[in-house]
Amino acid sequence: MSEKDREIRARLLTIFRTEAEEHLQAITANLLALERDLPFEQGRALLEATFRETHTLKGAARSVGLQEVEALCQSLEAVLSSLVHDRLVLTPQIVQHLQAGIDGVAHLLAGSEVRVDVAGLGDRLAHVAAGAAAPMGSVDRVARLQDRASADPSSEPMAPPPPEPAPGLPPRETVRLSTDRLDALLLQAEDLLIPRLAWEQRTLEIKALVKGLGECRARLNATRLSPALEDAFRELELQGQDLLAQALRDQRGTAATVDALLDAVRELRMLPAASILGPFPRMVHDLAAEFGKEIDWSVRGADLEVDRKILETVKEPLIHLVRNAVDHGIEPPEVRRQADKSARGRITLSVALLEDGQVGFCVEDDGRGIHAEEVRQAAVRARLVAGDAATTLTDEDAMSLLFRSGLTTSPIITDVSGHGLGLAIVKERTESQGGQVRLVTRPGLGTAVHLRVPARIAAFHGLLVRAADQPFLLPLDAVERVIRMTPEQIEHADGREMIRWDGRALSIGRLADTLGLPVPAQHPSGDGATKLPGVVIRSGSEQAAFLVDEILGTREVLLKEFTPPVIRLRNVAGAGLLGTGQVVLILRPADLLATLREGAPTPVPSARAEAARSQRAILVVDDSVTTRTMERNLLEAAGFRVRVAVDGIDAWTALRTEDFALVVSDVDMPRMDGFDLTARIRADRKFVDLPVILVTALESRADKERGVEVGANAYIVKSSFEQSNLLEIIRRLI
C-alpha cells in the first residue's frame, strides 16, 4: 500500500470511527429501552430503528474493510430482522444477546484488551435468529455496561466505554463539524478577499501617484525650478516610493496569509469521490432488473479527493448519465448476443485527476452507441430544427443537439427517461462550476460522456470588459483570445454576422445586443479605420466572438452566487466584487453562445395567447371515477378543457366526434383497454400525430414495452405518479 493510500485509509477510518460511535450510542440506548415494558407500537418503532442503525453500521464497516465488525453487525442484523418480521418474539434474553454483540463491536473499534470472540458471538446470534436456544454464560458478555440499574427506568443510557485505540487505527482526537458551519467558516474566510483585493487596488493607485509625481517633476524641471522647490518635489517622490514599497510588502503579506487560510479551509471540504457513489451500485442493479438487462458496474479512482460542493454539483449529472447508460445504452441480453457481444453489459465510472487542478468524471458503457441519424430525427420531432435543415447537419453538429433541452431519442416517456432533460441538466450543472462536457460515441460499441470540473472551489479570475457603458466579467478559462477587427472584416452569411478566424468562419455578435442592453446615443460604432475590440470565447466544442466597447484586463474577484429568490438568470452566473468595491456581473459563456446561436430571445406570449393555448381539449379515459375526477380537476386547474370517457370504446366515440390535442388513458379497462385504444389511434391517419399518455398501475417491463409497440408517447406508473410530472409531460407534448 502506497503512502497516499495509507493516508486516505487513515482519514476514512477516522470518519468511520466518529460515525460508528453515534450508531453504537443510538443502538445501546434503544436496547436499554427495549428491556422495559413498552407499548407494542413504541417497541416496534425502536426495533425498526435499531435494525436501520445496525444495517448502516455494517455497510460503513464494509466500506473501510473492517471485516470482523461487518461480520458481527451481519449477525446482529439477522436477529433484528427476525424480530422486525415477527419471526421472533422479543425477550429479555434476546436483548442481552444483542447487547453482547454490540459490546463486541464497541471493543473491536476501541481496541480494547478484552478478547472478542467474533466467531462465538456470531454463532450464538445465529442460533437466536433461527429461534434456537442460546444460553448465555457470564463469559459470553464481552463487557457489561457498569451500574446499569434495570429497576430504574429513568436511568440514562450509557455509551460503550472508550478504551484506548487499537494499534494501526488513527488517533481519536477529532471534532465533528456540521457542513453548514464549515460552509459558514469558508464564507467568512472568503470575505477576507475583500481587504486583500482592496490592498492590491490601493497599491496600484499609490504606484500611479508616484509615477505622476516623477513625471510632474520632470516637466517642471524644464522651467528651471528653484533649488528649494526641486528638492521638495524630490523629497515627495522619495516618500512616495517608500510608501509604495511598504504597501507592496503589506499587500504581499496579506495575500499570503489570506491565501493560506483559504487553502486550509478549502482542504477541510475535500472528500473522496466515493462519498457520493454509495447509492450507485444499487441503482444500477434495480434499473437493470426493471429493464431486463444484465449489467456489471465498476468504479475507478473513487479515492480521489474533490471539494464537497463540486461533488454535490456533479452527483445529479452522474445519476442522469448512469440512468441513460442503463436505459438507452446497454442492450437487452438477446440483442447483445445477436451482435456477438457478451450478454452482460458493462458500465464504468472513472474519476481521474487532470492538469490545471481539474478532475475528470467519465461514465462509459459498451452498449449500442448513438446514431447521428436518430438524433436528427429526434431533433425534428422536438422542433429544434426543420426537416430540411436536419439533413444538412454534420454528425458532430447533430450530436451537440443531445445537450439541448427537450431532445430525446427515446420512443416513449417513462419515469426513468424520455423527458429530454437529462443531458441538458448534465451540461448546465457542469458548466455552472466552470466545467465542460464532452460526448464520444461509437455506434454498436458504446458511449462515453466526460465531465471536466475543478477539483476545488478557487478564487474567480475573469476578463473585465465594458459593453453599453457597463462592466462585465467573462470567466478567464472560457476566453480563447482577445481580438481587434475593422467593420470590413465582418461578413454576412445566412442572415448572420461572421468573421474569418484561424482559417474558418466564426459567428460574431455584439455583447450589448446579446445581453439585450440599450446602446447609448453617443456610443462609438467605429469606421473603416477603427479596430473594434472583441473576445473569442468557448464553451465545450462551441466558439463565438463578441464585440465589446473596451478590454479592461484580467481581475481576481470574490464570487457571490445567486440565492433565492434569484436562482437562475440567463447569461449571468453570479456577481463579483472588485477591489474598488464595485459589483460586476459574471457572465455565463454557455448561455451567451446559445443566445447568439438562437437569435433574439423568444417573446413571452401574451395572456390571451396563453389562454388560447391552454384551452386545448384533453380527453381523459379511465374506468375509475376517482381517477377520472382527480385528473380532470388537475387539468382544468391548469387551464385545459377536459372531456372524460369511461373506457376505450367511449373514448374512440369521442375522438370521432370532437377534436382533442392529447389523450390521457388508463390501460386496464373493460370493453377496450388503453393498449388497444392507442393502437387504434395510431392506425387512423387522422390521429397518427395525436399524443397519447398512458397512466397505469401496470409497471412491468413487458407492459412498458407494449406501450412502446402500440405507439404511446408517455408511460406513467401510478405508484410513482406526480401531478407536476403529468403536467410537465403534457406541456412538452402539445
Return the pLDDT at 349. 95
Confidence of residue 342 (pLDDT cuts 50, 70, 90): very high
Contact at 8 Å (CB) between 440 and 402?
no
Inform me whether the pLDDT recorded for 632 exceeds 50. yes
User: Residue with C-alpha cell 448476443?
Assistant: 337
Nearest to 572 by CA among 582, 581, 559: 559
Comparing 149-153, 606-610, 648-652, which segment has the lowest mean pLDDT?
A: 149-153
Confidence of residue 584 (pLDDT cuts 50, 70, 90): confident
**Which one is predicted more confidently, 149 or 663?**
663
**What's the Cα-to-Cα distance from 684 to each of 402, 436, 520, 678, 720, rounded to whole Å?**
31, 46, 59, 10, 31
Inform me whether the pLDDT recorded for 440 exceeds 70. yes
Comparing 87-101, 147-161, 477-491, 590-604, which segment has the lowest mean pLDDT?
A: 147-161
Return the pLDDT at 526. 53
Inform me whether the pLDDT recorded for 701 exceeds 80. no
In sign, the C-alpha dihedral spanning 661, 667, 670, 673 is positive
Inform me whether the pLDDT recorded for 457 exceeds 70. no
Q: From CA 578, how far away is CA 199, in angstroms rounded?
A: 11
Inform me whether the pLDDT recorded for 265 exceeds 80. no
Residue 285: count of CB within 10 angstroms of its CB? 13
Q: What percentage of the chain reaches a pLDDT higher than 70?
A: 79
Return the pLDDT at 671. 82
Return the pLDDT at 566. 55
Nearest to 560 by CA among 545, 546, 573: 573
Can you name the CATH fold of 273-370+409-446?
Heat Shock Protein 90 (3.30.565)
Q: What percentage of the chain reaches a pLDDT higher than 90?
A: 11
> DSSP labels for 446-487?
EEEEEEEEESS---EEEEEEEETTEEEEEEGGGEEEEEEE-G
Q: Are strands 572-577 and 550-560 parallel, antiparallel or unpaired?
A: antiparallel
**Which one is predicted more confidently, 340 or 124?**
340
The domain ranges of the chain are 3-129, 181-268, 273-370+409-446, 460-598, 608-733
Q: Where are the alpha helices (DSSP H) in 64-192?
A: 67-84, 92-110, 118-129, 179-191
**Which one is predicted more confidently, 136 or 513?**
513
What stretches of 276-387 adopt beta strand conformation (E)? 295-300, 305-307, 345-353, 358-365
Confidence of residue 362 (pLDDT cuts 50, 70, 90): very high
Nearest to 525 by CA among 516, 512, 535: 512
Superfamily of domain 460-598: CheA-289, Domain 4 (2.40.50.180)
Q: Average of pLDDT values for 172-197?
A: 68
Return the pLDDT at 365. 94
Return the pLDDT at 26. 84
Note whether 3-129 and 273-370+409-446 share their fold.
no
Written as one letter, the residue type at 525 is S
Return the pLDDT at 667. 87
Return the pLDDT at 436. 83
Q: From CA 540, how far away is CA 542, in angstroms rounded?
A: 6
Residues found in the chain: 734
Inform me whether the pLDDT recorded for 513 exceeds 80. yes
**What's the Cα-to-Cα distance from 658 to each of 139, 550, 617, 636, 642, rounded to whole Å?**
83, 61, 9, 18, 12
Q: From CA 514, how far away is CA 591, in angstroms rounded?
A: 10
Q: From CA 95, how far away is CA 83, in angstroms rounded?
A: 11
Of 292-296, 308-312, 381-385, where does the model show the most confidence?
292-296
- Predicted TM-score (pTM) of the model is 0.48
Confidence of residue 133 (pLDDT cuts 50, 70, 90): low
Return the pLDDT at 85. 83
Confidence of residue 615 (pLDDT cuts 50, 70, 90): low
Q: From CA 244, how far away is CA 206, in angstroms rounded?
A: 6
Query: pLDDT averaged over the chain?
Result: 77
Confidence of residue 613 (pLDDT cuts 50, 70, 90): very low
* Domain range 3-129, its CATH number among 1.10.260.40, 1.10.287.180, 1.20.120.160, 1.10.10.10: 1.20.120.160
Confidence of residue 608 (pLDDT cuts 50, 70, 90): very low
Confidence of residue 147 (pLDDT cuts 50, 70, 90): very low
Inform me whether the pLDDT recorded for 360 exceeds 90. yes
Comparing 239-243, 472-476, 675-679, which segment has the lowest mean pLDDT?
A: 239-243
Task: Supply the CATH classification number for the domain 608-733.
Answer: 3.40.50.2300
Inform me whether the pLDDT recorded for 612 exceeds 90. no
Inform me whether the pLDDT recorded for 558 exceeds 70. no
Q: From CA 616, how far away is CA 618, in angstroms rounded?
A: 7
Inform me whether the pLDDT recorded for 159 exceeds 50. no
Question: Based on the number of CB atoms within 10 Å of its own CB, is 335 exposed (0-12), middle (13-18) or buried (19 or more)?
Answer: middle
724 grid coordinates: 407536476
Confidence of residue 341 (pLDDT cuts 50, 70, 90): very high
